[in-house]
A and B are shown apart, each in its own frame.
Chain A
Amino acid sequence: MIAINAIDQLAEPYDIAIVGAGPAGLAAAARAAELGLSVLLADENPAPGGQIYRAVTTTPVAKRDVLGEDYWKGGALVERLTKTTASYAPGCTVWSVAPDEEGGFELGLSLGGRARLISAGQIILATGAQERPFPIPGWTLPGVMTAGAAQIALKSSGLVPSGRTVIAGCGPLLYLLAGQLAAAGADIVAVLDTTPRRNWLSALPALPDFLRSPYLAKGLKLMAAARGKLSFRTGVTALAAQGADKVTGVTVTRGGKTETIACDALLLHHGVIPGINLSNAAGCAQHFDTVQHCWTPTVDDWFASSIPGIAIAGDGAGIGGAESAALRGEIAALDAVRRLGHLTEGQRDSHAAPARAELARSLRGRRFLDLLYRPAETFLAPPANETIICRCEEVTAGQIRDTASRLGVTGPNQMKAFLRCGMGPCQGRLCGPTVVELIAQVHGVSPADTGYYRLRPPVKPITLAELAALPPSEAAVKAVVR
């Protein structure tokens, strides 16, 4: 592996550029490099592993069972990559992906405060997932964080919340985190479970598959570990974080009764959704996945997007978990190598066969979890008008509803122009899904019919100076200087 620590160490061009060093990106990079191609793996984090295997090579957590056996599997993926000739650039942000004139792609990269454009024949986006926005009144208060954030602090820095901690939401990661934090000695005063009871009905048909899945044993173990020690409260229908300049408590409604639990940290989790900013900005088609209830890039059996030459592997193309992400990365890499003419279709298919079999097994049971832990409408489209939806521009649910109904706004891009939601530095990552949900609710249509933000590069901020230092083209000068 070639470590890239400065932007001028990058070669140009690469056969394949991969964005994101989580399980999908690590596997894709290793596979493509093993087949003899020149590979760049760019990742904005300081160390490989993505979020699920965050800091797997550097974590200060000494006791293995705190993080669980599954976490340590990430080490093998990193080790495999280390043995290849792939270039790995940590701390490197990919802010743009666009087709170039020669049938390949141009990537805009930023590393150490300097930007550069490089070209690549094939692109694999492995940008992973982000947590689904969980907008409740007070969720912008310091001390309110995502469950994933607490997990990242634990994995990468060996930190746990120091005061009374409340965990709220639903989904496997929530129970996993509760178990991990408990094992690490955090003071968890309550786990507030928002799983809607009627979800059991919609999830039931998917139960048989789940019972034959690897999730089952894992899930039961997690649940048992978490429930045994912790104060679980189920049937939560409303939440609000309390506090003036930091969180001091959480108001909980269950069975029509409301109580306030004092706390110093509130950790929220309603599952994860694909991070679509880069694929959307690159122009890849996306659709609304009604089972996972989120916008998802549209990909084929080889994880190829609607743009030939751009594949999307891992949770960035639909949530499947770490194991499936690595397998999907592997399969996407084989097809990218085939597209570059280094494998025949037959070779690609036979190489991919074992991964495909494993992939099917790893995804079995997923549907049951998706349906069971789908957040209730009241959390997807918050009823309280004062709830901030766009954290950057501080736009509330009430403003969005009013503008949708009174001014007849039917889509998120129009909403953005009217209220500035989605115009801040996070570029809609934390408000997009909710804005869509609120508009859809007002007009009585589906999120699919409401659409999503049209995103543009740079998908992550770069400075004007970085942009200015990139080489201009003659045509561009002519278009600007008139």
Chain B
Amino acid sequence: MPDYASWSRRSAEQWHQLAGVLNEETGIDVAHSQPGGFMLCLSETELEQRRHTMQRLHNQMSLAEFPYEILDHDETKRRLPDIGKDVVGSVYSPLDGHVNSLKLFRALRDATQRRGVDYRPNCTVDSITTQDGGFRLRGAFGEIAAGKVVLAAGLGNARLAPMVGLDAPVKPSKGQVIVTEKTDAFLHNPMVTIRQTDEGGVMIGDSQEDRGFDTVVRQPILSVMAERAVRMFPRLAGLNVVRSWSALRVMSPDGFPIYDQSLSHPGAFVVTCHSGVTLAANHVLTLAPAILSGALPETLAAFSARRFHVPAHS
């Protein structure tokens, strides 16, 4: 989806600004940096597959807009001296950055608090109805009236969206992550499957499974992720694993975000994606002002859920 590539690129460009705003308003440094990222490949097949994906993407847009390099083992090793001999090569994307996502989460929450957002946890919304040109949200908590409603309930959007004439066909996609003890800083670039946070812990993993709402950590997946991580960076071998976790991604049928506004219920919006950290800059700096103004810009039309109802080309 070419629109997604430009949308995520735009977010990457604006992330510095978001980090600055958050730091200024909350005093929280979310440890944002943009040193470029690597995708390490452990076999020629993997590297070939990545090369193919990048080429396909590039047929849809200009190289200048989305730069990348395919590196062999030696060049990857020159840039990342700690890689193991099993790394056959890598894809380097100079625009990639990273951030401490837990700090981002807290900073966003802290900023909303300081901006006067009335946060009410543990309120499950059972129904949304329109009344007097606005909305009424009801549940065991009682009732809340609002002029506009933005559905940002992740997997809950699938249930909520139809209440306001919207569609959010999202499903859970399970992912597991391994976290190591804190260790000396050695990995300054983000990778798809390995990152070191500013606190020193290394997060490993990018599994994807379709297992409904099951979030039990399964050991075989941890093993495969650990084995690959140790081959990528042999120095990780002796580190202690202190935690693992699994959680559910919010996946649309094509994996891309859904941004939509209701035609039948003006003032109702749906926002959902599984890359809320990458896209946070867009969500804060572009999407939120657009929602406040009352309409999503034409540039986001491609993210409407209507795309899932177009008959496939035969």
CB-based contact B226/A468 at 8 Å = yes
**Which of B221, B227, B230 meets A479, CB within 8 Å?**
B221
Q: Determine the residue in chain A with the shortest Cβ distance to B177.
A: A456
Please indicate the chain A residues that have their CB under 8 angstroms from the CB of B230 in the complex.
Answer: 464-465, 468
Residue B95 interfacial (CB < 8 Å): no
A202 to chain B, nearest CB (A): 31
CB-based contact A464/B229 at 8 Å = yes
A418-B102, A464-B226, A464-B229 known; A108 vs B241 contact (CB < 8 Å)? no
CB-based contact B219/A464 at 8 Å = no
CB-based contact A417/B236 at 8 Å = no
Please indicate the chain A residues that have their CB under 8 angstroms from the CB of B6 in the complex.
Answer: none
Residue A475 interfacial (CB < 8 Å): yes
**Which of A106, A410, A456, A467 meets B243, CB within 8 Å?**
A456
A477 to chain B, nearest CB (A): 5
Please indicate the chain A residues that have their CB under 8 angstroms from the CB of B121 in the complex.
Answer: 408-410
Please indicate the chain B residues that have their CB under 8 angstroms from the CB of A410 in the complex.
Answer: 121-122
A456-B243, A458-B244, A464-B237 known; A473 vs B105 contact (CB < 8 Å)? no
CB-based contact B240/A425 at 8 Å = yes
Task: Tell me the chain B residues, 155-203 only, with Cβ under 8 Å from chain A.
Answer: 178-181, 199
Residue A424 interfacial (CB < 8 Å): yes
**Which of A424, A461, A480 meets B241, CB within 8 Å?**
A461
CB-based contact B105/A475 at 8 Å = no
Please indicate the chain A residues that have their CB under 8 angstroms from the CB of B217 in the complex.
Answer: 456-457
Q: Determine the residue in chain A with the shortest Cβ distance to B122.
A: A410
A407-B113, A418-B102, A472-B220 known; A461 vs B242 contact (CB < 8 Å)? yes
User: 1/0 per position for A385-424, CB-CB distance to B under 8 A?
Assistant: 0000000000000000000001111100000011110011
Q: Determine the residue in chain B with the shortest Cβ distance to A477.
A: B224
Please indicate the chain A residues that have their CB under 8 angstroms from the CB of B204 in the complex.
Answer: 464
Residue B287 interfacial (CB < 8 Å): no
B247 to chain A, nearest CB (A): 11
CB-based contact A467/B222 at 8 Å = yes
Residue A220 interfacial (CB < 8 Å): no
CB-based contact B102/A480 at 8 Å = no
Cα distance A465–B236 in the bound complex, in angstroms? 8
Cα distance A417–B240 in the bound complex, in angstroms? 21
How many of B's residues come within 8 Å of A, CB to CB?
Answer: 48
User: 1/0 per position for B29-69, CB-CB distance to A under 8 A?
Assistant: 00000000000000000100000000000000000000000
CB-based contact A464/B243 at 8 Å = no
Q: Determine the residue in chain A with the shortest Cβ distance to B202.
A: A464
CB-based contact A418/B228 at 8 Å = no
A410-B121, A418-B106, A463-B237 known; A476 vs B220 contact (CB < 8 Å)? yes
Q: Determine the residue in chain A with the shortest Cβ distance to B234.
A: A465
CB-based contact B242/A465 at 8 Å = no
Do most interface residues of chain B lie in helix, strand or loop, or is the interface mixed? Answer: mixed
Cα distance A457–B177 in the bound complex, in angstroms? 11
CB-based contact A471/B223 at 8 Å = yes
A473-B220, A480-B224 known; A408 vs B240 contact (CB < 8 Å)? no
Please indicate the chain B residues that have their CB under 8 angstroms from the CB of A480 in the complex.
Answer: 205-207, 221, 224-225, 228
Please indicate the chain A residues that have their CB under 8 angstroms from the CB of B120 in the complex.
Answer: 408
Residue B24 interfacial (CB < 8 Å): no
Residue A283 interfacial (CB < 8 Å): yes
Please indicate the chain B residues that have their CB under 8 angstroms from the CB of A473 in the complex.
Answer: 220
Cα distance A53–B137 in the bound complex, in angstroms? 59
CB-based contact A425/B242 at 8 Å = yes
CB-based contact A417/B220 at 8 Å = no
Cα distance A283–B245 in the bound complex, in angstroms? 13
Q: Determine the residue in chain B with the shortest Cβ distance to A473.
A: B220
CB-based contact A456/B241 at 8 Å = no
User: 1/0 per position for A102-115, CB-CB distance to B under 8 A?
Assistant: 00001010000000
Please indicate the chain A residues that have their CB under 8 angstroms from the CB of B178 in the complex.
Answer: 464, 467
A100 to chain B, nearest CB (A): 10
CB-based contact B219/A479 at 8 Å = no
A96-B219, A106-B219, A467-B178 known; A476 vs B239 contact (CB < 8 Å)? no
- A residues neighboring B (CB under 8 Å): 96, 98, 106, 108, 117, 283, 406-410, 417-420, 423-425, 427, 456-458, 461-465, 467-473, 475-477, 479-482
Closest 9 CB pairs of A and B: A461-B240, A476-B220, A467-B226, A465-B237, A468-B227, A468-B226, A473-B220, A470-B223, A479-B207
| 22 A-B interface contacts by CB (under 8 A) | A408-B113, A417-B105, A418-B109, A419-B106, A424-B242, A427-B242, A456-B246, A457-B219, A457-B244, A461-B242, A464-B204, A464-B237, A464-B239, A465-B230, A465-B237, A467-B178, A467-B227, A468-B226, A468-B229, A469-B227, A472-B220, A479-B209
